[in-house]
Amino acid sequence: MSTSKRALVTGITGQDGGHLAELLLAEGYEVFGLVRGQNNPRKAAVEAEFPAVTLIEGDLTDPASLVRAVERSDPDEVYNLAAVSHVGFSFTNPTLTADVTGKGVLNLLEALRITGRAQRTRFYQASTSEMFGGLDYNRPGAGYAEDSLFHPRSPYGVAKLYGHWIAKNYRESYGMFVSCGILFHHEGERRGKEFVTRKITDAVARIHLGQQTHIELGDLWPKRDWGYAGDYVRGMWQMLQHDTPDDFVLATGETHSIEEFLTLAFNEVGIDDWRPLVTQNPAFLRPAEVDILLGDPSKAETVLGWTRDVDFPGLVSRMIAHDITLNTPTA
């Protein structure tokens, strides 16, 4: 009988899911991934990149499918990364966001509990800096920590806050090993093009290659605490290897505006003045925006020994290089 650990990953078709599958396989895990929908367009890509991963069909809004997925995978660790995760999308689809991103966490925790795995399966909940939102966000020199006040400014943030608190409740009520990672913005070459960072790097690469003339964006002034997704996924794994379950903020401790991201991205292709190439589209403006998100990763650094390998300029550089390669026609 194999002694390797078994992990079930929801959201395996997303950015973090890809990084996590890579890490877990390298650590010798047997990896199972939950895939939503009978014609999921990302399923084939995951199968091609990770043939060793066993994919299981299921849906966070369908409790019975989660019970089947848990029974089939029999996991030592569960990483719940699945969510309706685009903030802008959550404003136009708030009910779906609540059902998947919020109640879906409850459904998955219940699947573990009712199948008798509450005391032996470790659970990671992907919480988010969007839970902090707009309250007390201008504290000079201070970032949000694990005990900071929450005030989400989007249906996505609200749904994530429910998921965060129900996960903590199951830890306290049933003694489950549940750790919540409150992750600030983390990007990379696996990021979907609907997110502003990847939208920028893809467009800059295409402008550089003569395939596009400009970029349409919303507000350029918001500041975010941006890190590299691969570093953050390693932090998720470290949380479940720790002796006790807890909540941890993962962040860089510094912020940069979208304008700064644009400047670095265009500099990578030799363009100094990017403003004539960027236009504002009112359709991309949100009903409520968060001015600045800054995290304090001190606890994760001290308790887990978590470190980051990629800084902000390095993040932008690797994303631009990837998208230039991706968009360059092959002979």
Question: Residues with catalytic annotation?
Answer: 128, 130, 156
- Cβ-contact 228, 309 below 8 angstroms: yes
256, β-bridge pairs: 224
Q: For 289, what's the count of Cα atoms within 13 Å in the CB-facing half-sphere?
A: 12
Residue from 287, 263, 279 nearest 88 by CA: 287
Helix or strand run (H / E) with residue 124: strand 122-128
* Alpha-carbon 42 to chain mean position: 16
Backbone angles phi, psi at 330, to 5 degrees: -95, 150
What single DSSP character describes residue 179?
E
- Cβ-contact 219, 285 below 8 angstroms: yes
